[in-house]
Structure 1
Amino acid sequence: MRTMTDGFDFTRDGEIARLTFTRPEKMNAITYGMWSAIPEVVARVEADPAIKVLVLTGAGAHFSAGADISEFQELRSTADAAETYDKAVDGAVAALTASRKPTVAMIQGNCIGGGCQISVACDFRFAAEGSRFGITPAKLGIVYHFDSTRRLVSLVGPAHAKYFLLSGELVDARRAREIGLLNDVFPADELEASTAKFVETLASRSQASVRGMNRIIEKIVAGQQEADAEVDEIRLGALHGEDYAEGVAAFLARRPPKFTYG
């Protein structure tokens, strides 16, 4: 299955969906229309029982150089216009962070500004050696979004978050992994295969566990300190689900589990 939209390409291959930014001539700069369409893509993935993981990547040499600044004079020229634009960005980030199905950013080249913001909103980030990362609001006189700042701090800590946001300086993939921004770094010619192997692992696990724990972790990142009724419901539902019974039976029989939860 393949769907084309201005600025990106949405495809599905079995259990894996892929959202590819397709503006390589602009280093995959993200337009207002692209920001606005991302929640629809995530909702489609969440609603499709056959899809287990969403991979985000960029066509050509780069993941994304950030928001398309050429639109700013028209779309962010007044306070009201900037607020409208920011709502689209916030909506895209919120959709990705709220997704119970895992999201994986597969990164090559530049991952800067809004591109880095998108990657941080994903659950996992894998990058090719030579990739570059940066978040540059201080170069534009912009104060970064609250939720994206919180998520960045949760990944790299306040000191490294301040380095990114206050300096606007770029770091390479090796340094990005050292500070916790990346899960792993691979040679460029191994990125696709290595990411695919991890994605296959995610798809093979109990989806009741994966999606339930993903939701609980997001609540913790958002500042929740204790379990609530939703957490209790997630855990109780898993305990009475088919995946739990299959997981225990497979463990006792010393065989691989065959999970059926969609």
Structure 2
Amino acid sequence: MTVERILQDRITQNLIVEKRGSAGWITFNDPGRHNAISFAMWEGIPIALQALAEDPAIRVVVLTGAGERAFVSGANISQFDTLRSGEEPVQAYERVAETAQLALYDYDKPTIARIKGYCIGGGLNIALCCDLRVASDDSSFAIPAGKLGLGYRMTAIRNLVTAVGAAHAMEIFLTAARYSASEAQARGLLHKVTPVDQLDAAVEEYIAHISANAPLTLHAGKKMIRQMQQLGPQVDIEAMRQLVMACFESEDYREGRRAFAEKRKPVFTGK
């Protein structure tokens, strides 16, 4: 199989985009930070997806993380003080992240999240935007927004509820607990869990099955399923956005960032 890397001159080096046979691969490439997603990585995702969409030889796209320890460990905390503090920077960050998330969620071609290691916060949301999620049995999962005091956008909540149902979504979000791969699968977050040494074989099996099927049929079925998962017109999107912004403007959010930097448990007041 030939491997061709593309877009090196157009997007951050923290995203590796490759064509491998009938599959496109997008690798989050910052293993020193457990592939924590940065603003530049969010910006690069739609560009990478579009480039792979334009190649008719690519039948499926796989997203994964570099190294052995993480898929994506969440947002890059080091950027919070500059990019996720204050109304205008937060709104700009949310627009870019939302654009990337929707580009993946609404993507025409089938997508697979290949997960090994940490799949946390924004990383779990990225995985939930994919059509299929395969994880090694040493992986772990959480949405720790409540431990940081940050706002979690409505579409990300929609992705969680769609995958696991309202009851499990409540547990996962309200407790901010960490789950093993087997626990995550039991709650509906994963389609398949494998031993570490069988992860790539499981992904390749999915690639082979999908690549052998009729692209137009898969596209039509996926679009119909996504249509059924859309937010209804009765949802007040602006009110939900204001709730998110209120979290980012709160003292609890400032306390959550301080506590994370100081490696201590935060003390939240609800203000």
Residue 2 (1) aligns with residue 9 (2): no
| 2:189 partner letter | L
Gaps of 5+ in 2: 234-271
CA displacement 1:196-253 (0-9 Å, x = unmatched): 111110010111111111111100011579xxxxxxxxxxxxxxxxxxxxxxxxxxxx
Out of 24, 29, 35, the residue aligned to residue 28 of structure 1 is: 35
* Structure 2 counterpart of 1:217: 225
CA displacement at 1:57 relative to structure 2: 0.4
CA displacement at 1:6 relative to structure 2: 2.2
* Structure 1 counterpart of 2:177: 169
1:157-236 aligned at under 5 Å gives the runs 157-223=165-231
Q: Name the SS of the counterpart of 2:124 in structure 1.
A: helix
* Structure 2 counterpart of 1:39: 46
* Structure 1 counterpart of 2:248: none
* Structure 1 counterpart of 2:95: 87
1:96-135 aligned at under 5 Å gives the runs 96-135=104-143
Give the distance between the partners of 1:6 and 1:139, measured in 2 at CA.
Answer: 30
* Structure 2 counterpart of 1:12: 19
CA RMSD, 1 decimal: 1.3
| 1:159 partner letter | A
State how many pairs are aligned: 225
Identity of aligned residues (%): 36
CA displacement 1:76-128 (0-9 Å, x = unmatched): 12011101001111111100011110010000010001111100011110000
| 1:48 partner letter | D
CA displacement 1:178-211 (0-9 Å, x = unmatched): 1111000000000001111111100101111111
Give the distance between the partners of 1:154 and 1:40, measured in 2 at CA.
Answer: 26
Q: Is the 8 A contact 2:125 2:159 kept in 1?
A: no
TM-score computed with the length of structure 2 as normaliser: 0.81
Give the distance between the partners of 1:198 and 1:76, measured in 2 at CA.
Answer: 37
| 2:60 partner letter | V
TM-score computed with the length of structure 1 as normaliser: 0.83
Give the distance between the partners of 2:131 and 2:42, measured in 1 at CA.
Answer: 18
| 1:118 partner letter | I
Give the distance between the partners of 2:174 and 2:205, measured in 1 at CA.
Answer: 36
| 1:156 partner letter | V
CA displacement 1:131-171 (0-9 Å, x = unmatched): 10011111111121111111110110112111222221110
| 2:97 partner letter | V
* Structure 2 counterpart of 1:136: 144
Q: Is the 8 A contact 2:158 2:231 kept in 1?
A: no
* Structure 2 counterpart of 1:247: none
